[in-house]
Amino acid sequence: MSEPEEDLKEDKKKVCKKKKNKEKRRGEKMEEEKREQEEQVHEAEKHSESVILRGIFKVGKKSHDVLLTQTTLTWTPIIPETPTGEVTALQPGMLLLRDVFAVKVKRRRAAGQQSGGAMLGVALFCCRRRGRKLEEDTLHLHNASADHTHTWYNALKEQIAGISSRPRHLKVFINPSSHKKEAVHIYRESVAPLFKMADIRTDITVTERKGHTLSVIKECKLDEYNGVVCVGGDGSVAELCHALVFRAQLDANFPEKPMKAVLPVGIIPAGSTDVVSCSVHGVRDPVTAALHIILGHLQQVDMCSFSPVGQSVHFGFSAMFGFGGRSLARAEKRRWMTSSRRREYALVKTLAKLRPEECELSFLPAKKSRQNLFWNRDQGDNQEQDSDLEGEGEASWTTKQGQYLSISVMSIPCLSPHAPRGLAPNTSLTSGSASLIAVENASRSEFIKHLKRFGSSSGEFSFSFVETHAVSAVKIRPLSMTGFSKEESEEEGDSKSTPIIQPEGAAFPWNIDGELVEIANEVLIRVHPRLISLYGEEVEEAESTVSCSCI
Ligand SMILES: Nc1ncnc2c1ncn2[C@@H]1O[C@H](COP(=O)(O)OP(=O)(O)OP(=O)(O)O)[C@@H](O)[C@H]1O
């Protein structure tokens, strides 16, 4: 066969494959829609409640018989009789009121006209799911009668107002310096209009410095609000969550015991990785995040306390020692680079200088009942309210000494577009335990293989040098006398390296929720089940939109 003929055959094969893939995708989409419809019908049957209102509206161009119950709105086409007796099959529709976030009266108005206008009917603003994303959608019910329309508008409003988990007044913190400095723009463009439509009042603080959120939360009247929203990256989220737990401790006058935060937290992602947001939304999308907040989707979440010896306790979700800490320390020194470049630079440089840390690692395995919670995620919410390591005595500490390339402790799965199943896929938001991932000394190529598998389907822990445990507490004590700053200065002839916290003696960089913290001594990490509620839901896997090309 000549070369052009071969090329033609190849092209045909490619077109065929593309067609097949397209058909497969279409089939999958139809399946998903069918499943969704079946779910809705099931939901409606489950709530076969009494009808609140019944009336006729046009949906599209056809007249429909519309029914309103406490939880659903259904519309069935009115099929006119034809002389031939032919029946046209028209599909009924249904909307769950829990997905509706605003109702407005529709009138025909000329440009610039502020009031009056011919009555058109009501518009229902609702949320539709597309994969992990939540999107805004509108259902128009047309009827020219003002009385009819107002009766329906009032009834719909009343039903929606009765959904108690939805916030009415929110405190919003925006970090204007996050990632590409787009947080204010993201909030104004994608979130504020939705909050306005849902009649949510907001009280906004644009933060001016690190620690600003904490100082506002310490002083403000929390009972005025139904929730607090953070527009920023993981550092901002961690600061807000820490502040709320800290405030709960202050209010309870109980400095020894972590107290549950009194308000839920909404996260509008505007950072560079956004693992907390991704772990409760599955995507980095401000509209999805805003709709979870508006609809009051609440998810309880475990937190950790990080207590370095001689320093104050800090509450957060994840801590990385060794590779994760060193890599962040290198990135922070190059703030002048764009965030993706400095992350890639730091990753490559830290891999090139890969070295283990001699340390003592102790952990307390999670109680079996707690681990089981991970497998039975839908169990009641009121379990394990604040059982802060009660029964700690039942399990005993395991202590090891060795050389570790990396040690991570995470109380949430830490999903991201780079690691769709998460950095800690074997924990969940409410498992009551944290995932300890300890990577012992190994060759660079083996360590890279381990890292790469976080981005692929599985097998990241199937190496002899990696061990994972479900834990309720961990202690990490570095044994080496050379801290990172000293080592870095020696490497690069740089004497200006200034750690965030400058302790006495050798200091080691930690990555705590994406923030660099330098600590010289032992750190005790404890898990506190369901310490905070976040707006969102449990997500198995995040949507992956990026791939890391640097390793
Ligand atoms: N106006 C401000 N200027 C400088 N830093 C601020 C300001 N407001 C808040 N901060 C602090 O900036 C830190 C980092 O913020 P954030 O995590 O939102 O951004 P990021 O680091 O770019 O994102 P990511 O953590 O996803 O990489 C937080 O600790 C926060 O307290």
416 touches ligand 1 (CB under 6 Å):
no
Residue 498 has pLDDT above 80, yes or no: no
205 touches ligand 1 (CB under 6 Å):
no
Q: How far apart are CA 60 and CA 92, in angstroms?
A: 12
β-sheet with 72-77: strand ranges across: 93-96, 72-77, 62-68, 53-59, 133-142, 118-130, 100-108
Q: What is the band of 39 on the pLDDT scale with cuts at 50, 70, 90?
A: low
For 269, the domain range is 165-296
Do 350 and 470 have their domain in common?
A: yes
Do 335 and 482 have their domain in common?
A: yes
β-strand 93-96 against 508-512: which pairing, if any?
unpaired
Do 482 and 512 have their domain in common?
A: yes
99 touches ligand 1 (CB under 6 Å):
no
Do 218 and 311 have their domain in common?
A: no
Strand partners, 434: 471
Do 263 and 334 have their domain in common?
A: no
Residue 544 domain-assigned (yes or no)? no
The dihedral over CA atoms of 506, 475, 356, 425, expressed in degrees to the nearest 10, equals: -140
Residue where one domain finishes, among candidates 296, 314, 337? 296
Quick one: how far is CA 415 from the chain centroid? 8
Residue 307: Cβ within 10 Å count: 16
Do 285 and 306 have their domain in common?
A: no
Do 169 and 207 have their domain in common?
A: yes
Residue where one domain finishes, among candidates 296, 312, 339? 296
Do 208 and 184 have their domain in common?
A: yes
| CATH number assigned to the domain comprising residue 426 | 2.60.200.40
Residue 542 domain-assigned (yes or no)? no
| CATH number assigned to the domain comprising residue 235 | 3.40.50.10330
Q: How far apart are CA 436 and CA 473, in angstroms?
A: 9
Q: How far apart are CA 459 and CA 340, in angstroms?
A: 26
Residue 390 domain-assigned (yes or no)? no
* pLDDT tens digits along 359-376: 999 999 998 654 433 333
Do 157 and 271 have their domain in common?
A: no
What residue owns the CA closest to ligand 1's atom 1?
A: 208
Residue where one domain finishes, among candidates 256, 271, 296? 296
Q: Is the pTM above the cut of 0.90? A: no
Do 134 and 187 have their domain in common?
A: no
The dihedral over CA atoms of 527, 531, 537, 540, expressed in degrees to the nearest 10, equals: 0
- What pLDDT was estimated at residue 40? 58
Dump the DSSP string for 221-284: -GGG-SEEEEEE-HHHHHHHHHHHHHHHHHHHT-TTS----SS-EEEEE-SSS-HHHHHHHSS-
β-strand 133-142 against 523-535: which pairing, if any?
unpaired
515 touches ligand 1 (CB under 6 Å):
yes
Residue 36 domain-assigned (yes or no)? no
Sequence-ordered list of residues with C-beta below 8 angstroms from that of 189, at least 6 positions apart, any chain = none
234 touches ligand 1 (CB under 6 Å):
yes
Do 221 and 292 have their domain in common?
A: yes
Element (H, E) at 62: strand 62-68
Q: Which of 172, 177, 414, 423 should be mutated for ligand 1, with most atoms under 8 A from CB?
A: 177
User: Tell me, what's the ipTM?
Assistant: 0.96
Residue 267 domain-assigned (yes or no)? yes
What mean pLDDT do residues 52-76 have? Answer: 93
Characterize 470-483 residue by residue with b for buried, 16 or more Cβ atoms within 10 angstroms of its Cβ, and e for exposed.
bbbbbbbebeeeeb
Residue 190 domain-assigned (yes or no)? yes
- What pLDDT was estimated at residue 497? 45
Q: Which of 523, 456, 501, 549 is nearest to 322 (CA)?
A: 523
Residue 462 domain-assigned (yes or no)? yes
Do 172 and 213 have their domain in common?
A: yes
| CATH number assigned to the domain comprising residue 150 | 2.30.29.30
Characterize 340-378 residue by residue with b for buried, 16 or more Cβ atoms within 10 angstroms of its Cβ, and e for exposed.
eebbbbbbebbbeebebbebebbbbbbbeebbebbeeee
- What pLDDT was estimated at residue 24? 64
Residue 232 domain-assigned (yes or no)? yes
Count of the separate structural domains present in the chain = 3
* pLDDT tens digits along 204-250: 999 999 999 999 999 999 999 999 999 999 999 999 999 999 999 99
